[in-house]
Amino acid sequence: EAQVTQNPRYLITVTGKKLTVTCSQNMNHEYMSWYRQDPGLGLRQIYYSMNVEVTDKGDVPEGYKVSRKEKRNFPLILESPSPNQTSLYFCASSPRGSRPQHFGDGTRLSIL
């Protein structure tokens, strides 16, 4: 079954404690991307990757890092989380030259 898997689904943590949200896809897609969703603000792109070792900033990259060492994985790293990063996060993947097509189920992060 084609899917994008995010882990964890829920996380409550404290300010400054580094965390990583993993994202994995099994469709051999070139394009992967991360979004955050906040009430009233819709979806905002954080980072995207066109292929292995190719990443670029989206609309709201501050405070986040990503890496793309393998085609299937695209982890989102918060080196020093702050309360304003409390949000619902989605990872997505797409075939080449396409769009965010397959989304994961989301990760709800609470930074206290």
Partner 1 sequence: GENVEQHPSTLSVQEGDSAVIKCTYSDSASNYFPWYKQELGKRPQLIIDIRSNVGEKKDQRIAVTLNKTAKHFSLHITETQPEDSAVYFCAASISGDKIIFGKGTRLHILP
What residues line the site for partner 1 (CB under 8 A)?
A: 31, 33, 40-45, 48, 50, 56-59, 90, 94, 97-101, 103-106
Residue 11, amino acid: L
Nearest to 34 by CA among 45, 25, 26, 19: 45
CB of 105 to partner 1, least distance (A): 6
CB of 18 to partner 1, least distance (A): 26
Nearest to 70 by CA among 97, 51, 46: 51
CB of 109 to partner 1, least distance (A): 16
The nearer residue to partner 1, 80 or 98, going by C-beta atoms, is 98
How distant is the alpha carbon of residue 70 from its chain centre? Answer: 15
CB of 41 to partner 1, least distance (A): 6
The nearer residue to partner 1, 39 or 69, going by C-beta atoms, is 39
Kindly write down the DSSP assignment for every residue of 14-66, as one continuous string.
Answer: -TT--EEEEEEESS--SEEEEEEEETTTEEEEEEEEEETTEEEE-S--TT-EE
